Structure 1
């Protein structure tokens, strides 16, 4: 378990993390989301004990992680897959960590096989591709068979097979009762992997909830209704907070009502309904809604800008 209690971090006048409190429970995959500059990396470094908090504390399995007598068995972390000496082989890198942490050398071969690097284990890390380096970083995090696993952008550089492997690995670790905490900007992967979410913006906690509730609470959902009585049902459903539009000769798109409410209204009016489908916003859309005011850099809308130069005719007309 990871317990973050009133955690803050200040660099000079800049408050990077602002009074964060949340708990990452065992037995589930918890996603850590936020725009660039939200304070995610700083928070993860404080969880690892690499940065000291200005205020508050972090407990890993009930105590500060730096106080652990067996740190690699307590928590495995991947914060920077490139933080490995490029002249070492993958196996020697893991073997050095194993020998300094009282981990049997047999575990090195186990994790190399687990991440698919057995055939290149004696190759120098400097010659690894981005995806191979990422696999080695995961192997390093898992070396001590830890109860808590924290990974920052674990699918970075991986091919589709590697992405699927990571997805299955994380869900397996959670099923074994471990605490799994992952940060990623890939919303599609987070939607498929995580059960809970911790969302921050400008250092503040924005949400600590399940993925399903996070998406359900977002605005922008609608219900598709198929009925031969589309005109009559549209008149019946319209109201101050309800919008109804035609999507086809016998199809309506309704916002402001649930599928249950629409189905009940149609049944009471004796109108046949051939289709009734609720559409929720995606995790990406829900995330964008919640963090809109917390984005550090706002790019211009491409639709509102033009890269074409002024035509000679326009210049002439203006002169």
Structure 2
């Protein structure tokens, strides 16, 4: 069912792209848009990780440059029965994270410096486990392809707006006319947003559930979601603002931090996610599962992350 839904969503994005091609150039434009959409899907299939990581200026780290962070990812990947993903850090003060890659063997996990500095080890474990759950569920490819095509649809919408203003879409040139161009210009971006929301909203709950099981304590993840949401409201993410079509990839919406269950939200309501995690924690407790240990031991440094100590200057964030 997951794969069928994903295929339908990606087909819908492609159909929107093709329809906008028809609005620009009639039948010829439709054919060209279809070919371009297929090429974009194939390109995203093989290069999704490189594309997204480059967009956000992520730098790869290893056990030498970020030992605590890298070691935590390694331990959680082992618990999730996943190959070790590549590990990246984004030099950004907003606490956030995402995963990308076309398959578990080609995956990457990226966290911001703000996340590593703001979260205690247990809560960071919850965030990383959530991203590993996306990898295990093979969500990362779908979300990246959706971001790529969604960005292209936005670009075409801008082109349609420019053409409509200057009379570039008329029936004599094989287009669908001024009214059709205006309708496509207005409807297509919202349609693409709806498809992206369907991809993200359904998968976030699944990744929360699996991530809680991977890290061993749902409350670690719920606490991290609340902490990140509060910080996102105060700290802008300039890179994400420039690439809004990729906002759904992050664990918390990096654009506003307002994860409301409404028509145009890229993420479920954080309070609803926390409630689901609390219910899972209670269920695990009733089943006799000890939540005090989880995947990692308590950090000896207290509430701060272990990467915020004297060795922090050795990391790529300087």
User: Please, what TM-score do these two structures have when normalized by structure 2?
Assistant: 0.24
Q: Which structure has greater helix proportion?
A: 2
User: Please, what TM-score do these two structures have when normalized by structure 1?
Assistant: 0.24
Q: Which structure has greater strand proportion?
A: 1
